[in-house]
């Protein structure tokens, strides 16, 4: 019998949050290199942000230890108002791996409750197809194509919902191309914060 896994992390919600990033669910803990979101050392999320902000894919990497620099990442996210959680709060892992296609969502996350804690948030970013599908099924909005956005109403507020390419190495897109897609998101926010 497959056990239900509850989410092992608390939502990361800086008070100055402008964008909420939502993945699907963390990989099994044996694959973690830190206790934070996108913890698998083979995942490219933190290399993407290293490239965009510091022109260095390894900015958040402790190369000798093959892990990410947790404190550097937390400080970065607090500075720029990046919040993180996932679209599932409980899942069944149908195979013992990190693949989204083998995740059965038992309990979707209450996204409205998360957003209530970050009132300055302007947009939501899903970081893969499973996360996008779960959110779209909850709130009945149009499904954005990869790299694009649609408007979603959650509670009494409208948000821009961006669908970004998955940062997983299993997603067949070069790191530089993924960074280009995420950079579009960054420029959108710079324009809207002026």
- Give pTM, 2 decimals: 0.93
pLDDT for res 35: 95
Q: Which residues of 30-44 are buried (b: 16+ CB within 10 A; e: fewer)?
A: eebbbebbbbbbebb
For 118-135, the pLDDT digits (tens) are 999 999 999 989 999 999
Q: Where are the chain's structural domains?
A: 4-192
The pLDDT tens digits of the residues spanning 139-159 come to 989 999 998 999 999 999 999
Beta carbons of 58 and 44 less than 8 angstroms apart: no
**What's the fold here for domain 4-192?**
Uracil-DNA Glycosylase, subunit E (3.40.470)
């Amino acid at each position: 019998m497959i056990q239900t896994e509850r989410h092992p992390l608390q939502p990361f919600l800086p008070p100055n949050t402008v964008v909420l990033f939502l993945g699907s669910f963390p990989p099994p803990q044996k694959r973690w290199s830190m206790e934070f979101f996108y913890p698998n050392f083979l995942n490219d999320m933190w290399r993407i942000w290293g490239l965009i902000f510091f022109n260095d894919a390894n900015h958040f990497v402790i190369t000798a230890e093959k892990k990410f620099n947790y404190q550097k990442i937390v400080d970065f996210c607090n500075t720029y108002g990046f919040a993180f959680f996932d679209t599932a709060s409980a899942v069944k892992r149908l195979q013992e791996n990190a693949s989204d296609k083998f995740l059965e969502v038992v309990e979707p996350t209450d996204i409205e409750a998360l957003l209530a804690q970050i009132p300055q948030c302007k947009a939501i970013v899903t970081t893969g197809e499973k996360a996008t599908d779960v959110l779209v099924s909850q709130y009945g909005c149009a499904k954005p194509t990869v790299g694009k956005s649609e408007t979603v109403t959650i509670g009494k507020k409208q948000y821009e919902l961006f669908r970004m390419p998955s940062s997983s190495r299993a997603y067949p897109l070069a790191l530089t191309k993924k960074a280009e897609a995420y950079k579009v998101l960054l420029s959108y926010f710079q324009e809207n914060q002026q």
